[in-house]
Structure 1
Amino acid sequence: MLNQLIHCSLNSGSPVTLTATEGLSSIAQHEDALLRHLFQGYQKWVRPVLNSSDTIKVYFGLKISQLVDV
């Protein structure tokens, strides 16, 4: 069984250790745990503007790439 150990440090300064295995359910569980950790304390109503009536321009791009089997 393939085991990978990933060490990283987040902005909070606390080290995070993730272990990934070949099993899809195990990977999904680790992904969920990582997302919960990263968004802990996240406040979606906070906006990056000084005045709450200011607008924010969001640019979104989409790129389609085609893979050709040669």
Structure 2
Amino acid sequence: MVGSSLTDDEKDTANTRLKAGFVLLVAASMGLMALQVDPTPLQLAAVFAVGIVVGVGLLWFVLRNLAEYRSSLR
């Protein structure tokens, strides 16, 4: 059987980048939605910051449920 071509360090780096990308995608999405109501720069920054918090919360929720799902398969 063919194994993964990535080392453990490369896998960790890739996972970290995916997690950061997910959080930034949520934050950017919230920022773009806020642009529809013509916010001030301070309001836009606040929405982006809240988006980061929401993104981290969503990431935690997804990873927690994924871990439960994986453990139920074993």
TM-score (norm 1): 0.31
TM-score (norm 2): 0.30
- Could you say which structure has the larger radius of gyration? 1
- Higher strand proportion: 1
- Higher helix proportion: 2
